[in-house]
Amino acid sequence: MYRTTGLHHLTAIASDPQRNLDFYSGTLGLRFVKQTVNFDDPGTYHLYYGDASGRPGSILTFFPWPNARRGRVGAGQVAETQLAIPTGALAFWIQRLTEHQVAFHGPTRRFDSETVLTFTDHDGMPLALVATDAAQAQPGWDGGVGVSDAMSIRGMHAVTLWVHRRHETAAVLTGTLGFRELATSGDVVRYAVDDAAPGALIDVRELPTGPGGTGGAGTVHHVAFRAADDEMEFGIRTQVAAAGLPITEQIDRTYFRSMYFREPGHVLFELATDSPGFSVDEPAERLGESLQLPVQHEHLRPTLVERLQPLHRPGAELHPA
Protein backbone atom coordinates (compact mmCIF):
# COMPACT_ATOMS: atom_id res chain seq x y z
CA MET A 1 0.00 0.00 0.00
CA TYR A 2 1.19 3.50 -0.83
CA ARG A 3 0.96 5.87 2.13
CA THR A 4 1.08 9.61 2.46
CA THR A 5 3.70 10.91 4.89
CA GLY A 6 1.38 13.55 6.35
CA LEU A 7 0.11 17.03 5.63
CA HIS A 8 1.67 19.00 2.79
CA HIS A 9 -0.24 22.29 2.88
CA LEU A 10 -3.61 23.82 3.46
CA THR A 11 -5.31 26.38 1.22
CA ALA A 12 -7.95 28.79 2.51
CA ILE A 13 -9.96 31.73 1.22
CA ALA A 14 -9.28 35.24 2.48
CA SER A 15 -10.46 38.75 1.68
CA ASP A 16 -7.92 41.57 1.79
CA PRO A 17 -4.41 40.37 0.81
CA GLN A 18 -2.55 42.96 2.88
CA ARG A 19 -4.49 42.12 6.04
CA ASN A 20 -3.77 38.46 5.36
CA LEU A 21 -0.05 39.18 5.04
CA ASP A 22 -0.02 41.36 8.15
CA PHE A 23 -1.65 38.63 10.23
CA TYR A 24 0.18 35.51 9.09
CA SER A 25 3.63 37.01 8.48
CA GLY A 26 3.37 39.80 11.05
CA THR A 27 1.27 38.65 14.01
CA LEU A 28 1.98 34.92 13.67
CA GLY A 29 5.54 35.38 12.42
CA LEU A 30 5.43 32.87 9.56
CA ARG A 31 7.82 33.29 6.67
CA PHE A 32 6.26 34.77 3.55
CA VAL A 33 7.38 31.99 1.25
CA LYS A 34 5.80 32.89 -2.06
CA GLN A 35 3.74 35.59 -3.71
CA THR A 36 2.25 34.32 -6.90
CA VAL A 37 -1.19 34.27 -8.53
CA ASN A 38 -4.08 31.88 -8.51
CA PHE A 39 -3.18 29.68 -11.47
CA ASP A 40 -6.88 29.37 -12.39
CA ASP A 41 -7.67 33.05 -11.74
CA PRO A 42 -4.42 34.94 -12.43
CA GLY A 43 -5.92 38.33 -11.65
CA THR A 44 -5.75 37.51 -7.94
CA TYR A 45 -2.93 36.63 -5.59
CA HIS A 46 -2.04 33.24 -4.16
CA LEU A 47 0.00 33.80 -0.99
CA TYR A 48 2.10 31.14 0.78
CA TYR A 49 3.44 31.11 4.34
CA GLY A 50 5.64 28.57 6.10
CA ASP A 51 8.89 28.00 7.93
CA ALA A 52 12.39 29.07 6.93
CA SER A 53 12.59 26.75 3.91
CA GLY A 54 8.89 26.32 3.13
CA ARG A 55 9.09 22.61 3.88
CA PRO A 56 6.04 20.44 3.18
CA GLY A 57 3.89 20.35 6.28
CA SER A 58 4.61 23.96 7.25
CA ILE A 59 2.67 25.66 4.47
CA LEU A 60 -0.53 27.69 4.71
CA THR A 61 -1.72 29.24 1.46
CA PHE A 62 -4.51 31.70 0.72
CA PHE A 63 -6.62 32.85 -2.18
CA PRO A 64 -7.28 36.48 -1.13
CA TRP A 65 -10.22 37.87 -3.06
CA PRO A 66 -10.79 41.51 -2.02
CA ASN A 67 -14.33 42.04 -0.72
CA ALA A 68 -14.99 38.29 -0.68
CA ARG A 69 -18.12 37.40 1.24
CA ARG A 70 -17.69 35.62 4.57
CA GLY A 71 -18.10 31.83 4.41
CA ARG A 72 -19.63 29.55 7.02
CA VAL A 73 -17.69 26.76 8.66
CA GLY A 74 -19.67 23.52 8.73
CA ALA A 75 -19.81 19.86 7.78
CA GLY A 76 -17.84 18.95 4.67
CA GLN A 77 -14.93 21.24 5.48
CA VAL A 78 -11.68 21.55 7.36
CA ALA A 79 -13.12 23.28 10.42
CA GLU A 80 -9.93 24.08 12.35
CA THR A 81 -6.30 24.51 11.36
CA GLN A 82 -3.92 23.55 14.17
CA LEU A 83 -0.40 25.01 14.27
CA ALA A 84 2.38 23.47 16.35
CA ILE A 85 4.42 25.39 18.91
CA PRO A 86 6.95 24.14 21.48
CA THR A 87 5.60 23.65 24.98
CA GLY A 88 7.90 26.37 26.28
CA ALA A 89 6.41 28.92 23.87
CA LEU A 90 2.89 28.87 25.30
CA ALA A 91 3.32 31.85 27.65
CA PHE A 92 4.92 33.86 24.84
CA TRP A 93 1.94 33.29 22.56
CA ILE A 94 -0.58 34.18 25.24
CA GLN A 95 1.23 37.48 25.65
CA ARG A 96 1.65 38.07 21.91
CA LEU A 97 -1.99 37.42 21.04
CA THR A 98 -3.01 39.71 23.87
CA GLU A 99 -0.68 42.50 22.72
CA HIS A 100 -1.94 42.19 19.13
CA GLN A 101 -5.54 42.30 20.36
CA VAL A 102 -6.36 38.84 19.04
CA ALA A 103 -9.14 37.36 21.16
CA PHE A 104 -8.41 33.76 22.14
CA HIS A 105 -9.82 30.96 24.25
CA GLY A 106 -7.70 28.82 26.53
CA PRO A 107 -5.35 27.37 27.38
CA THR A 108 -7.27 24.08 27.35
CA ARG A 109 -6.17 20.44 27.20
CA ARG A 110 -6.68 17.95 24.38
CA PHE A 111 -5.57 14.37 23.95
CA ASP A 112 -3.92 14.46 27.40
CA SER A 113 -0.57 15.81 26.18
CA GLU A 114 -1.58 18.96 24.26
CA THR A 115 -2.26 22.49 25.51
CA VAL A 116 -4.27 24.59 23.06
CA LEU A 117 -5.11 28.23 22.38
CA THR A 118 -7.95 28.79 19.89
CA PHE A 119 -8.69 31.99 17.96
CA THR A 120 -9.61 33.21 14.48
CA ASP A 121 -7.96 35.38 11.86
CA HIS A 122 -9.52 38.62 10.60
CA ASP A 123 -11.77 36.65 8.20
CA GLY A 124 -13.04 34.36 10.95
CA MET A 125 -10.96 31.32 10.00
CA PRO A 126 -10.67 29.03 13.07
CA LEU A 127 -7.07 28.46 14.19
CA ALA A 128 -5.38 26.76 17.11
CA LEU A 129 -1.88 26.92 18.55
CA VAL A 130 -1.04 23.50 19.95
CA ALA A 131 1.83 23.28 22.44
CA THR A 132 3.56 19.90 22.45
CA ASP A 133 7.03 18.65 23.28
CA ALA A 134 7.21 17.03 19.83
CA ALA A 135 7.09 20.42 18.09
CA GLN A 136 10.57 21.24 19.38
CA ALA A 137 12.08 18.81 16.86
CA GLN A 138 10.74 20.82 13.91
CA PRO A 139 12.70 23.80 12.50
CA GLY A 140 11.72 27.33 13.49
CA TRP A 141 11.97 30.76 11.84
CA ASP A 142 12.91 34.23 13.04
CA GLY A 143 11.43 36.71 10.61
CA GLY A 144 12.41 39.82 12.54
CA VAL A 145 8.86 40.68 13.64
CA GLY A 146 9.25 39.87 17.33
CA VAL A 147 8.86 36.08 17.12
CA SER A 148 12.19 34.38 17.76
CA ASP A 149 13.23 31.05 16.32
CA ALA A 150 12.72 29.43 19.74
CA MET A 151 9.14 30.71 20.08
CA SER A 152 8.08 30.32 16.45
CA ILE A 153 5.33 28.21 14.95
CA ARG A 154 6.69 24.88 13.69
CA GLY A 155 4.26 24.20 10.87
CA MET A 156 0.92 22.45 10.91
CA HIS A 157 0.08 20.19 13.82
CA ALA A 158 -3.22 18.76 12.54
CA VAL A 159 -6.44 19.72 10.82
CA THR A 160 -9.93 19.01 12.09
CA LEU A 161 -12.51 17.77 9.59
CA TRP A 162 -16.23 18.11 10.24
CA VAL A 163 -18.30 15.48 8.44
CA HIS A 164 -21.79 14.00 8.67
CA ARG A 165 -20.60 10.36 8.75
CA ARG A 166 -17.19 9.85 10.26
CA HIS A 167 -16.77 6.19 9.30
CA GLU A 168 -16.97 6.95 5.57
CA THR A 169 -14.21 9.54 5.88
CA ALA A 170 -12.20 7.26 8.17
CA ALA A 171 -12.33 4.50 5.56
CA VAL A 172 -10.56 6.78 3.07
CA LEU A 173 -8.00 7.98 5.60
CA THR A 174 -7.10 4.45 6.72
CA GLY A 175 -7.78 2.37 3.62
CA THR A 176 -6.56 4.76 0.93
CA LEU A 177 -4.11 7.25 2.43
CA GLY A 178 -2.46 5.06 5.07
CA PHE A 179 -3.58 6.69 8.32
CA ARG A 180 -4.41 4.70 11.44
CA GLU A 181 -6.83 5.49 14.24
CA LEU A 182 -4.78 6.84 17.14
CA ALA A 183 -6.90 8.32 19.93
CA THR A 184 -10.20 9.90 20.93
CA SER A 185 -10.81 13.16 22.79
CA GLY A 186 -14.47 13.88 23.46
CA ASP A 187 -16.30 13.58 20.14
CA VAL A 188 -13.11 13.92 18.06
CA VAL A 189 -11.23 10.90 16.69
CA ARG A 190 -7.58 11.35 15.73
CA TYR A 191 -5.81 9.56 12.88
CA ALA A 192 -2.06 9.48 12.30
CA VAL A 193 0.62 8.31 9.88
CA ASP A 194 4.18 7.28 10.67
CA ASP A 195 5.22 8.33 14.17
CA ALA A 196 2.21 10.61 14.81
CA ALA A 197 4.41 13.71 14.90
CA PRO A 198 3.03 17.21 14.32
CA GLY A 199 2.01 17.50 10.68
CA ALA A 200 1.00 13.84 10.44
CA LEU A 201 -2.36 14.08 12.22
CA ILE A 202 -6.00 14.38 11.15
CA ASP A 203 -8.85 14.93 13.60
CA VAL A 204 -12.39 14.01 12.55
CA ARG A 205 -15.54 15.19 14.28
CA GLU A 206 -18.89 13.72 13.29
CA LEU A 207 -21.83 16.13 13.05
CA PRO A 208 -24.75 13.93 11.94
CA THR A 209 -27.25 16.78 11.72
CA GLY A 210 -24.92 19.76 11.54
CA PRO A 211 -25.31 22.26 8.68
CA GLY A 212 -22.98 22.01 5.74
CA GLY A 213 -20.29 24.61 5.32
CA THR A 214 -20.35 27.27 2.63
CA GLY A 215 -17.23 28.53 0.91
CA GLY A 216 -16.04 32.09 1.35
CA ALA A 217 -13.56 34.18 3.29
CA GLY A 218 -12.54 32.48 6.50
CA THR A 219 -13.01 28.91 5.25
CA VAL A 220 -10.59 26.26 4.01
CA HIS A 221 -10.69 25.43 0.32
CA HIS A 222 -8.72 22.17 0.51
CA VAL A 223 -6.12 20.24 2.46
CA ALA A 224 -3.14 18.61 0.74
CA PHE A 225 -1.33 15.40 1.69
CA ARG A 226 2.31 14.68 1.00
CA ALA A 227 3.53 12.34 -1.69
CA ALA A 228 7.31 11.93 -1.59
CA ASP A 229 7.54 11.61 -5.36
CA ASP A 230 5.57 10.86 -8.52
CA GLU A 231 5.62 7.12 -7.91
CA MET A 232 3.94 7.55 -4.54
CA GLU A 233 1.45 10.07 -5.91
CA PHE A 234 0.38 7.83 -8.77
CA GLY A 235 0.28 4.85 -6.41
CA ILE A 236 -2.09 6.66 -4.06
CA ARG A 237 -4.08 7.83 -7.08
CA THR A 238 -4.66 4.20 -8.04
CA GLN A 239 -5.88 3.46 -4.52
CA VAL A 240 -8.24 6.44 -4.57
CA ALA A 241 -9.69 5.37 -7.91
CA ALA A 242 -10.07 1.79 -6.65
CA ALA A 243 -12.16 3.16 -3.78
CA GLY A 244 -14.57 4.57 -6.35
CA LEU A 245 -13.60 8.22 -5.86
CA PRO A 246 -13.09 10.37 -8.97
CA ILE A 247 -9.64 11.96 -8.99
CA THR A 248 -8.00 14.41 -11.39
CA GLU A 249 -4.97 13.85 -13.53
CA GLN A 250 -1.67 15.24 -12.28
CA ILE A 251 -1.47 19.05 -12.51
CA ASP A 252 1.80 21.00 -12.44
CA ARG A 253 1.62 23.71 -9.75
CA THR A 254 5.28 24.76 -10.27
CA TYR A 255 6.26 24.09 -6.62
CA PHE A 256 4.65 20.65 -6.50
CA ARG A 257 2.54 18.38 -8.68
CA SER A 258 -1.05 17.89 -7.62
CA MET A 259 -4.11 15.66 -7.90
CA TYR A 260 -7.52 16.41 -6.36
CA PHE A 261 -10.47 14.37 -5.13
CA ARG A 262 -13.36 14.70 -2.68
CA GLU A 263 -13.65 12.22 0.15
CA PRO A 264 -17.16 10.91 1.01
CA GLY A 265 -17.70 13.70 3.57
CA HIS A 266 -17.20 16.24 0.73
CA VAL A 267 -13.89 17.68 2.00
CA LEU A 268 -11.63 18.47 -0.96
CA PHE A 269 -8.35 16.53 -0.67
CA GLU A 270 -5.19 17.12 -2.69
CA LEU A 271 -2.13 14.96 -3.20
CA ALA A 272 1.02 17.08 -3.58
CA THR A 273 4.60 16.02 -4.26
CA ASP A 274 7.40 17.16 -1.97
CA SER A 275 9.44 18.42 -4.91
CA PRO A 276 10.53 20.62 -6.55
CA GLY A 277 9.87 23.09 -3.70
CA PHE A 278 9.74 26.86 -3.41
CA SER A 279 13.30 27.70 -4.44
CA VAL A 280 12.65 26.50 -7.99
CA ASP A 281 12.05 30.07 -9.22
CA GLU A 282 13.88 32.28 -6.68
CA PRO A 283 16.80 31.81 -4.28
CA ALA A 284 15.98 30.29 -0.91
CA GLU A 285 17.23 33.40 0.90
CA ARG A 286 14.89 35.63 -1.16
CA LEU A 287 11.67 33.65 -0.95
CA GLY A 288 8.53 35.75 -1.18
CA GLU A 289 10.28 39.00 -2.08
CA SER A 290 8.90 39.40 -5.61
CA LEU A 291 5.97 38.25 -7.71
CA GLN A 292 6.52 34.84 -9.29
CA LEU A 293 4.35 33.71 -12.19
CA PRO A 294 3.89 30.28 -13.73
CA VAL A 295 5.20 29.93 -17.26
CA GLN A 296 1.71 29.98 -18.76
CA HIS A 297 0.97 33.38 -17.22
CA GLU A 298 4.34 35.10 -17.66
CA HIS A 299 3.05 37.00 -20.71
CA LEU A 300 0.48 38.66 -18.42
CA ARG A 301 3.12 40.16 -16.10
CA PRO A 302 2.75 43.85 -17.17
CA THR A 303 -1.02 43.66 -16.79
CA LEU A 304 -0.87 41.82 -13.47
CA VAL A 305 1.75 44.16 -11.99
CA GLU A 306 -0.57 47.06 -12.74
CA ARG A 307 -3.66 45.27 -11.48
CA LEU A 308 -2.46 43.58 -8.31
CA GLN A 309 -2.45 45.53 -5.06
CA PRO A 310 1.15 46.24 -3.95
CA LEU A 311 1.97 44.35 -0.77
CA HIS A 312 4.02 45.57 2.19
CA ARG A 313 5.64 42.75 4.12
CA PRO A 314 6.09 43.51 7.81
CA GLY A 315 9.46 45.26 7.88
CA ALA A 316 9.97 45.37 4.10
CA GLU A 317 8.13 46.61 1.02
CA LEU A 318 7.27 44.12 -1.70
CA HIS A 319 7.04 45.05 -5.35
CA PRO A 320 5.00 42.87 -7.76
CA ALA A 321 7.58 43.24 -10.53
Residue 173 has pLDDT above 80, yes or no: yes
Residue 316 has pLDDT above 90, yes or no: no
Residue 321 has pLDDT above 70, yes or no: no
Residue 174 has pLDDT above 90, yes or no: yes
β partners of residue 161: 78, 204
The residue-averaged pLDDT of 282-288 equals: 95
The residue-averaged pLDDT of 311-316 equals: 81
The residue-averaged pLDDT of 95-121 equals: 96
Question: What is residue 317's predicted lDDT score, i.e. its pLDDT?
Answer: 45
Name the band, by pLDDT with cuts 50, 70 and 90, for residue 113: confident
Residue 132 has pLDDT above 70, yes or no: yes
Spatial CB neighbours of 293, under 8 Å, sequence gap ≥ 6: 36, 37, 42, 300, 301, 304
Spatial CB neighbours of 30, under 8 Å, sequence gap ≥ 6: 24, 49, 50, 51, 60, 141, 143, 153
Among 198, 173, 224, 233, smallest CA distance to 87 is for 198
The residue-averaged pLDDT of 111-117 equals: 93
The residue-averaged pLDDT of 104-129 equals: 96
Residue 229 has pLDDT above 70, yes or no: yes
The residue-averaged pLDDT of 114-120 equals: 97
Among 113, 110, 159, smallest CA distance to 11 is for 159
Q: Domains of the chain, with CATH numbers? A: 7-317 (3.10.180.10)
Question: What is residue 318's predicted lDDT score, i.e. its pLDDT?
Answer: 45
The residue-averaged pLDDT of 181-205 equals: 94
Of 169-178, 189-198, 312-321, give the lowest mean pLDDT range: 312-321
Residue 3 has pLDDT above 80, yes or no: yes
Residue 48 has pLDDT above 50, yes or no: yes
Name the band, by pLDDT with cuts 50, 70 and 90, for residue 210: confident
Spatial separation of the C-alpha atoms in residues 31 and 93, rounded to whole Å: 17
Name the band, by pLDDT with cuts 50, 70 and 90, for residue 29: very high
Residue 8 has pLDDT above 80, yes or no: yes
Question: What percent of the chain shows pLDDT beyond 90?
Answer: 92
Question: What is residue 249's predicted lDDT score, i.e. its pLDDT?
Answer: 98
Whether the pTM exceeds 0.85: the reply is yes
Sign of the torsion angle spanned by Cα atoms 272, 50, 21, 93: positive
Beta strand 104-110 with 257-262: parallel, antiparallel or unpaired? unpaired
The answer to whether 62 touches 222, Cβ cutoff 8 Å, is no
Tens digit of each residue's pLDDT (9 = 90 or more) over 248-284: 999 999 999 999 999 999 999 999 999 999 999 999 9
Q: What is the mean pLDDT of the chain?
A: 95
| Residue 304 main-chain phi, psi, to 5 deg | -70, -40
Question: What is residue 112's predicted lDDT score, i.e. its pLDDT?
Answer: 85
